C-alpha cells in the first residue's frame, strides 16, 4: 500500500484551526502555551531540589545539551506535520558526522582523504543524500514510509559501525568541532543555531504559503492535490530538509564532545517522538506547531536535569523518564483540551 492511502481523508487543518469557528481562535492559539505551566513548575521544583538548578551555568548546560537533539525534534516535527514519520533521523544524526570523520581524520582511524575544512560540507551532504534517498523510496516508489525509514535506520547504523570498526572517532579536525564548541556573545553557538532554526520554523510554518502547504498535505493529501499543491515536491523537500537538520544536530554533538561514537544517536528517536507528541504534534499529520515541539523537548531536558541534580541513580533515570513522559502527555491532554492522535 502506498503512503498516499495511509491517512484517512479529513478536512485540511491549519495550525490554529478550531471546530467552532472564529470565536475560539484565541483559545486555540493558547495550545502552543500548554506546556509553559509545566515548565514553570519544573523550574520551581528544580530550585527546591538543588539551588544550582537556576544558575546561569546550569541552564546554559541544559540548553546546549538539548540543542543537538532539538534539531532532530524540529526535523521530526515537520515530517509529522506532512503526515509521515522518519525513524532514520537518529542514525543520520550519527552517520553523517561519522562519514565526515572517516574521510578527514588521519592516523589510522580514518582515511584522511579530505582536508579538515571539508568536514562540515561532507556532514551536511550526507544528511541531504540520506533525505533524498528516503524521499525517492517513499514518494517516487510509493513505499511505506514507516518501513522505509526503519530499514534505513538499521542500514545507517550498520554503516557507522562498519566504517568506525565499532570504535569512537577522535582527533577531529578543528573545522568539524567549531560549531559544537564555539561561543558567540557569551553563549554556545549551538544554542544560537538551535534558536534561530526553531524561530525560522515558526515563521515558515505559521506565516507563509509553504507552511500552509505542509499543513494541507498532512491534513488531507487528496484535497491538497485538488487545490493545486505540488504534494510530491512538498514531501520530497520536507524529507531532505529533515535529513539536513539531523546531520547538523549530529555535527553539533560531535563538536561539543570532540568525537563521534559508533553508537551516536542510538535510541534518540524515542525522545524525539515523545517531545513532539507532548508538544502537541499529531502523529496523524496536519496538526501541531514548531513552538509546541520546542516546549516539549525543553520540558524533557529540564526534568532530566532535575533528576540528575536530585542524585537519582543513572540506572533509574530511564524508567523515570518514561513515566514522566506519560504523565506529561496526560497533563498536555488536559491543558490543551483535545485528543492526541
In a domain, 78, yes or no: yes
Q: What letter does residue 4 receive in the DSSP assignment?
A: G
In a domain, 18, yes or no: no
C-alpha cell at 134: 528516503
| Average pLDDT over every residue of 40-56 | 95
Read off the CATH number of the domain in which 109 is found.
1.10.3470
Mean pLDDT of all residues belonging to the chain: 88
Cα gap 46→39, rounded to integer Å: 10
- The answer, yes or no, to whether residue 151 has pLDDT greater than 90, is yes
In a domain, 19, yes or no: no
Over the stretch 252-284, which tens digit does the pLDDT of each residue have?
A: 999 999 999 999 999 899 899 989 988 889 888
In a domain, 162, yes or no: yes
Show the domain range for 257.
32-336
- The answer, yes or no, to whether residue 341 has pLDDT greater than 80, is no
Residue 220 Ramachandran class (φ > 0 left, ψ -120 to 50 alpha, else beta): beta
Q: Quick one: pLDDT band at residue 38, thresholds 50, 70, 90?
A: confident
End-to-end CA distance of the chain: 21
- The answer, yes or no, to whether residue 63 has pLDDT greater than 60, is yes
- The answer, yes or no, to whether residue 20 has pLDDT greater than 70, is no
In a domain, 11, yes or no: no
| Three-state DSSP state, 2 | coil
Residue 21 Ramachandran class (φ > 0 left, ψ -120 to 50 alpha, else beta): left
In a domain, 148, yes or no: yes
Q: What is the pLDDT of residue 323?
A: 80
Q: Domains in the chain: how many in total?
A: 1
pTM for this structure? Answer: 0.89
Q: What are phi and psi of 187, to 5 degrees?
A: -125, 140
- Residue 71: partners with Cβ closer than 8 Å, 6 or more residues away: 194, 197, 245, 246, 248, 249, 252
In a domain, 26, yes or no: no
> What stretch of H or E contains 183?
strand 183-184
Measured CA to CA in angstroms, residue 156 lies from 71, 91, 126, 237, 337 at distances of 19, 6, 11, 21, 39
- The answer, yes or no, to whether residue 289 has pLDDT greater than 70, is yes
In a domain, 108, yes or no: yes
Amino acid at each position: 500500500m502506498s503512503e498516499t492511502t495511509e491517512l484517512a481523508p479529513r478536512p485540511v487543518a491549519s495550525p490554529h484551526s478550531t471546530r467552532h469557528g472564529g470565536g475560539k481562535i484565541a483559545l486555540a492559539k493558547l495550545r502552543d502555551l500548554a506546556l509553559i505551566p509545566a515548565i514553570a513548575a519544573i523550574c520551581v521544583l528544580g530550585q527546591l531540589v538543588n539551588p544550582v538548578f537556576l544558575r546561569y551555568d546550569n541552564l546554559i548546560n541544559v540548553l546546549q545539551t538539548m540543542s543537538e537533539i532539538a534539531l532532530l525534534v524540529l526535523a521530526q516535527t515537520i515530517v509529522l506535520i506532512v503526515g509521515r514519520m522518519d525513524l532514520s533521523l537518529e542514525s543520520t544524526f550519527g552517520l553523517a558526522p561519522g562519514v565526515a570523520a572517516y574521510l578527514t581524520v588521519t592516523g589510522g582511524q580514518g582515511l584522511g582523504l579530505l582536508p579538515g575544512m571539508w568536514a562540515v560540507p561532507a556532514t551536511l551532504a550526507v544528511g541531504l543524500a540520506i533525505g533524498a534517498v528516503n524521499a525517492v523510496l517513499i514518494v517516487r516508489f510509493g513505499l511505506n514510509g514507516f518501513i522505509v525509514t526503519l530499514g534505513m535506520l538499521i542500514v545507517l547504523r550498520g554503516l557507522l559501525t562498519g566504517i568506525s570498526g565499532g570504535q569512537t572517532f577522535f582527533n577531529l579536525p578543528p573545522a568539524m568541532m567549531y560549531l559544537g564548541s564555539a561561543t558567540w556573545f557569551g553563549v554556545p553557538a549551538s544554542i544560537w543555531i538551535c534558536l534561530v532554526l526553531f524561530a525560522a520554523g515558526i515563521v515558515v510554518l505559521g506565516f507563509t504559503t509553504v507552511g500552509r502547504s505542509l499543513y494541507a498535505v498532512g491534513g488531507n493529501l487528496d484535497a491538497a492535490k485538488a487545490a493545486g499543491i505540488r504534494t510530491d515536491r512538498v514531501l520530497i523537500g520536507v524529507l531532505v530538509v529533515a535529513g539536513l537538520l539531523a546531520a547538523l544536530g549530529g555535527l553539533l554533538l560531535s563538536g561539543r564532545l570532540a568525537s563521534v561514537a559508533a553508537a551516536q544517536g542510538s535510541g534518540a528517536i524515542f525522545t524525539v517522538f515523545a517531545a513532539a507528541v507532548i508538544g502537541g504534534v499529531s502523529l496523524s499529520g496536519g496538526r501541531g506547531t514548531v513552538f509546541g515541539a520546542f516546549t516539549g523537548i525543553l520540558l524533557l531536558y529540564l526534568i532530566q536535569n532535575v533528576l540528575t541534580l536530585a542524585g537519582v541513580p543513572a540506572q533509574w533515570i530511564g524508567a523515570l523518564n518514561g513515566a514522566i513522559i506519560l504523565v506529561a502527555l496526560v497533563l498536555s491532554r488536559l491543558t490543551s483540551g483535545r485528543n492526541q492522535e
